[in-house]
Amino acid sequence: MDLTQRARQLLHAGMSESAHNLCLASIGQIKSGGRNSKAMAEALSVVAESIAAKEPQRSLAVFEQALALDPHSLSIRTAFASSCISARKPARAITLLEQTVKQHPQSLSLLNLLANAYSAASNTTAPANTSSKLQSTLLQILHLEPLATEVMKKLISLKYPVQNIMRLVPADCCGWVEPLLLAHQASLNCNFKDANAKLTILAQKLGREDTDILLEIADCHLNDGNYILAHYLFEKVRQQDPYIIKRMDRYARILQSKGSAMQLNRLATHLISLTEDRPEPWVVMARYSETKGDFERAIQLVDKALTLDKRHGESYLLKGSLMLSLHRPQEAISCFVYAHQLAPSLESYRGLLESYLACRRSTEALAVAKEAAERMPGNARALALIGCAYSHMPDRHVQAKALFTKALKLDPKCTEALFALVSSLVAESNLSAASDLLVRSLAHVNTPVVHTRLGDVYTLMKRYDLAMEHFHVALKMESGCDAAKRGLEAVEKLIEGANGGAKESHGRGGSDIEADESMEEEG
C-alpha cells in the first residue's frame, strides 16, 4: 500500500493531521520518482480533504491543482464539489457535478450531492432556473429510490404535488407515506392542526406511538403556539428516550418561556454530555445564557450551533430574539426572515412583527400579523399578533384591545393576549381590572409567569402581602424563576422603606409591566 492510500485510510479514520503529513511525504516521493500526474492528483486531493474543515478556502485551491492534473477523476470531482458546498461556493460545485452526473446518471450519491448544490445555490443569487433543476434532480433520485422520504419533502417544499409523488411510491407503502407527506405539506402551509391530524393517522398506520412521530406532533403544537400541550408531549418523549437530542432545543424554548432556568441548565448539561457535534446542545446553552442576561455569550453559543448546521432554524429564531434584546432590530429581521424561509411558524411571524415594530415599520408589522392570521385561521395567538401591531399605531388602541379580548375568548390559555390586556389596563391605571383578569386566568394557565405578573400588579397597587404571596407561589413552582426573585426582592425593599418607587423593572421574560409590552411567550 503506497503512502497516499494509507493517508486516505487515516483520513477516513478521523486522523486528518496524520493524513496531511503522510500525503506531503507522498508528494515528495512522487516528485522525486517522476511518477504520473494521476498519482500527484490523488495525493493533492487527500491533502485538500484533510484541511477542508479548518482551512476551507485553501482546501479549494488545492483541489483546483488536483483537478488540473486529473480532470476526469470521479473521486476528486466528488470530493471537490462536496467541499465547495461546505465552503458556500455552490456554483462551482454545480459546474463540477452536472457533467459528472451525465456520465453516471444512476448514482444516488452524485445526484443527491448535485441536489444539495442546487439547494444551496437557491439561497444565493443563483440563476432563475436553479429551482427547476433542483426539482428535476430530486425526481431523478425518486425514480431510482421511490422511498427516499427526505427527497419527497424537498419536492413538496418546491410546491410539487403530493399526488404526483405518490404515483412513484410502491403500493404496499402508500398507507404510511401519504399521511407523512400530507402532514409535511400542512406544516409548510402553517396548517398545524391538519398536520397533527395526519400525524395521528400515521401513528395509527404504524400501530405504535413512535418517538419520532410524537416529536413531530409536539413540534406542530409548538409552531401553533400551544406551549402547554407541546411541553407535555416533549416530556413524554424524554421519558420514552432520555438520550434523544433531536428537537430538544425547541423543548428548551418552552422551558425558557416558563422561567425554568434550573431545568434549562440541567438539560444543557445533559445534552452536551451526549454530543458536542450537533447544534441542539449549543442552542439550549444559549437559551440558558439569555435567561441569565448574558446576551453576548448567548450569541457566541448560537453562532457555534450555526457552524455545525447553517440551516438550523431554531438557531436563527434565537439569534433574532437576541438581536432584539441588544437593540439591533435590522439584524433581527434578517435572522427571522431566514428562519421563516426554513420553517414558517408562529414564532417566526412573531419575531418579524417585533423586529418591524422595533424599526418603527408598523405597516410591515401589520402585514406580517395579517398574513399569520390568514394562514392560521382561528388561532388566538395569530389574532393577538394583529392586536399587537394595532397597539403600536396611533388611534388603534381600542381595536387592539378588542382583538386581544377576542383572542382570549377563543383561547383562555393565550398568554400573549392576556399579558397585552394586562399591560393596557396598567397603562390606563386600571390596576383592579388588571389583577382581576390575572386571577381569573389562573384557572387556565396556572404558571410561574402568570403568578409573577400578578405579583407585579399587586406591587403597583401597594398590596404587598398579596404580591409576596404570588411571588412565593411562582418560586415554589419554579425555584429558578429569576423574575419572581427580583419581584420579591423589590417588595421586601419597598416594605422596608428602602425604595421610594413602587415600580421595579424585572427585564424580559416575566415581570416588567409596560404599556407597550404586549407579546409574551406561552408559560
Residues 340 and 415: their CA atoms lie apart, in Å, by 23
Residues 361 and 390: their CA atoms lie apart, in Å, by 12
3-state secondary structure at position 15: coil
pLDDT at 499: 47
CATH 3.30.1330.60 for domain 412-523 = no
Residues 421 and 404: their CA atoms lie apart, in Å, by 6
Residues 430 and 268: their CA atoms lie apart, in Å, by 41
pLDDT at 510: 45
If one looks up domain 245-337 in CATH, what number appears?
Answer: 1.25.40.10
Every domain of the chain with CATH number 1.25.40.10 lies at 1-117, 245-337, 412-523
pLDDT at 124: 63
Q: 3-state SS of 363-431?
A: HHHHHHHHHHHHHCCCCHHHHHHHHHHHHCCCCCHHHHHHHHHHHHHHCCCCHHHHHHHHHHHHHCCCH
Alpha helices (H) along 104-191? 108-122, 130-144, 149-157, 162-166, 174-188
For the chain, helix (H) and strand (E) counts, in that order, are: 29, 0
| Torsion angle, alpha carbons of 77, 80, 84, 89, to 10 | -50
Read off the DSSP letter of residue 278: S
Report residue 214: phi and psi, to 5°: -60, -40
Residues 17 and 21: their CA atoms lie apart, in Å, by 6
Check: CB of residue 72 under 8 Å from CB of residue 49.
no
Q: Which residue has the cell 405504535?
A: 208
Task: Give Cα separations from 187 to 273, 343, 372, 388 (angstroms).
Answer: 32, 8, 13, 24
pLDDT at 1: 58
**CA angle (45, 94, 184) in 5-degree steps:** 115
pLDDT at 294: 93
Query: Which of 325, 247, 248 minimizes the C-alpha distance to 291?
Result: 325
How many CB atoms are closer than 10 A to CB 513?
Answer: 21
pLDDT at 123: 66
Continuous segment of H or E residues that includes residue 34: none
Residues of the chain with pLDDT under 50: 498-523
Q: Which residue has the cell 405578573?
A: 453
Residues 4 and 39: their CA atoms lie apart, in Å, by 8
pLDDT at 7: 87
**Sequence-ordered list of residues with C-beta below 8 angstroms from that of 78, at least 6 positions apart, any chain:** 97, 100, 109, 110, 113
Residues 348 and 223: their CA atoms lie apart, in Å, by 9
Task: Give Cα separations from 289 to 12, 130, 322, 328, 482 (angstroms).
Answer: 36, 40, 11, 18, 13
Check: CB of residue 115 under 8 Å from CB of residue 138.
yes
Residues 422 and 509: their CA atoms lie apart, in Å, by 15
What class does CATH assign to 1-117?
A: mainly alpha
Half-sphere exposure of 107 (CA within 13 A, CB side): 17
| Predicted structure pTM score | 0.78
